[in-house]
Amino acid sequence: MAGRGWRTPSRRRGTTGLAPLPSTAKPFQLTPDTGGRDNPVGVLVLHGITGTPHSVRAWGEYLGAAGLAVSCPLLPGHGTRWQDLAATGWRDWYRAADDAFAELHARCSSVFVMGLSMGATLALRLAEEHGVQVAGVVTVNPTLGTDRRGTSLIPYVATVLPSVGASPAGGRLWGPKYSDIKAPGTQDIGYDRFSLRAFASLRQLWAVTLPDLHRIVCPVLTFRSVTDHVVEPSSGRRLLAGVTHAPITEQLLHDSYHVATLDNDKERIFAGSLRFVRRPPTASASVPAAVPATPDSDGSPDRPATNRLL
């Protein structure tokens, strides 16, 4: 198991011992033909930890078909083998996201950032750091912490147990449930082992992102699966409580698990994201352009602009 890379529906392997990266899992950019008119609206789409752009490709292609410029990088340490992920950390993942954002911002009239799971966390961090340069944020099952006991010991455990297997049942040790998707016959493409060193770095990303949520000044739309075997509902509550200087709306997904962008509610996410991008300007434009950084340290209807712990 130690040498195994990422899992795909096919187990055929190339000469390197790793299955070749499928085309759907590769990074992509979609540039609309504007006919020489104004620069298009840009969207940065980010995949989650252990995953690849495969999980968000259909989302990006939907937005691209609507005339938006879309960019989706393959985050460092992903798309090869889990040992490569172990050699990276949240600063590497964030730097790649930040570089992609800068490229879009240089050629687009405005830029939205969107992401799944850890990719959603990176999107939130971009909004914290770039202020009004981010036009809006869309998150799908963002991860901002965990209630699982013992996770504070991960940095120490990682020195003797480098990785854990993705659990088919969910919740075994700290490994994610591989392809946590409700739709029959649908699989994600990603690692089938989870580097505990990478998980320790993810905890550091939580530690810098969570206390700075108040710095976000653009509208936020967040989708949360009612049943998620990877990210607990407390992450959603943390997000609603932390965004205090911008409007935030939570929409619950009742027919999808964690990888909702490939699941039964995907069309709702895609259409909702496009409506969010095309919405008229809101009163949020009057929010202060910068908020100081914090020192380091169910069945309900949609919930609009609550900004509080529910």
For residue range 89-120, list pLDDT tens digits in order. Answer: 999 999 999 999 999 999 999 999 999 999 99
Q: Given a cut of 90, is residue 250 above it in pLDDT?
A: yes
Give yes or no for a contact between 224 and 145, defined as CB atoms under 8 angstroms apart: no
Is 1 inside any structural domain? Answer: no
Q: Classify residue 165 by burial, with Cβ atoms within 10 Å: 0-12, 13-18, 19+.
A: middle
Q: Which of 16-30, 37-51, 94-108 has the highest mean pLDDT?
A: 94-108
- Percent of the chain whose predicted confidence (pLDDT) is above 70: 75
CA atoms 52, 58, 59, 61: torsion sign:
positive
- Which amino acid makes up residue 140? V
Q: Classify residue 33 by burial, with Cβ atoms within 10 Å: 0-12, 13-18, 19+.
A: exposed
Higher pLDDT, 177 or 142: 142
Is 172 inside any structural domain? Answer: yes
Q: How confident is the model at residue 21 (pLDDT cuts 50, 70, 90)?
A: confident
Q: Given a cut of 50, is residue 33 above it in pLDDT?
A: yes
Is 275 inside any structural domain? Answer: yes
Question: What is the structure's pLDDT at 158?
Answer: 63
Q: Given a cut of 70, is residue 122 above it in pLDDT?
A: yes
The catalytically annotated residue of 228, 235, 256, 273 is 228
Q: List, for residues 281-307, the tens digit of each pLDDT value.
A: 654 444 444 455 555 433 333 444 443
**CA gap 167, 208 in Å, rounded:** 28
Q: How far is CA 138 from CA 91, 120, 141, 244, in A?
A: 21, 8, 10, 16
Q: Per this entry, what is the length of the chain?
A: 310
Is 25 inside any structural domain? Answer: no
**CA gap 73, 59 in Å, rounded:** 14
Give yes or no for a contact between 217 and 245, defined as CB atoms under 8 angstroms apart: yes
Is 148 inside any structural domain? Answer: yes
Domain that holds residue 262: 38-281+295-304
Question: What is the structure's pLDDT at 156?
Answer: 54
Higher pLDDT, 139 or 284: 139
The catalytically annotated residue of 163, 258, 263, 265 is 258
Nearest C-alpha neighbor of 218 from the set 130, 117, 145:
130
Contacts of 153 (CB under 8 A, 6+ apart): none
Is 10 inside any structural domain? Answer: no
C-alpha angle 81-115-72 in degrees, rounded to nearest 5:
65
33-47, 157-171, 226-240, 259-273: range with lowest mean pLDDT: 157-171
Domain harbouring 253, CATH code = 3.40.50.1820
Is 31 inside any structural domain? Answer: no
Contacts of 104 (CB under 8 A, 6+ apart): 42, 43, 44, 69, 71, 111
Q: How confident is the model at residue 12 (pLDDT cuts 50, 70, 90)?
A: very low
Q: Give yes or no: 297 in active site.
A: no
Question: What is the structure's pLDDT at 309?
Answer: 28
Q: Given a cut of 70, is residue 254 above it in pLDDT?
A: yes
Q: Give yes or no: 98 in active site.
A: no
The catalytically annotated residue of 110, 117, 163, 201 is 117
Average pLDDT, the chain: 83
Residues β-bridged to residue 165? 193
Q: Give yes or no: 188 in active site.
A: no
Q: Given a cut of 80, is residue 13 above it in pLDDT?
A: no
Q: How confident is the model at residue 9 (pLDDT cuts 50, 70, 90)?
A: very low
Give yes or no for a contact between 54 and 75, defined as CB atoms under 8 angstroms apart: no
Based on the structure, what is the number of domains in the chain?
1
Q: How confident is the model at residue 151 (pLDDT cuts 50, 70, 90)?
A: low
Q: Is 163 helix (H, G, I), strand (E, B) or coil?
A: strand
Is 310 inside any structural domain? Answer: no
Predicted TM-score of the model (pTM) = 0.84
Q: Classify residue 15 by burial, with Cβ atoms within 10 Å: 0-12, 13-18, 19+.
A: exposed
Residues β-bridged to residue 46? 115
Question: What is the structure's pLDDT at 90?
Answer: 97
Terminal CA-CA length for the chain: 42
CA atoms 305, 213, 137, 223: torsion sign:
negative
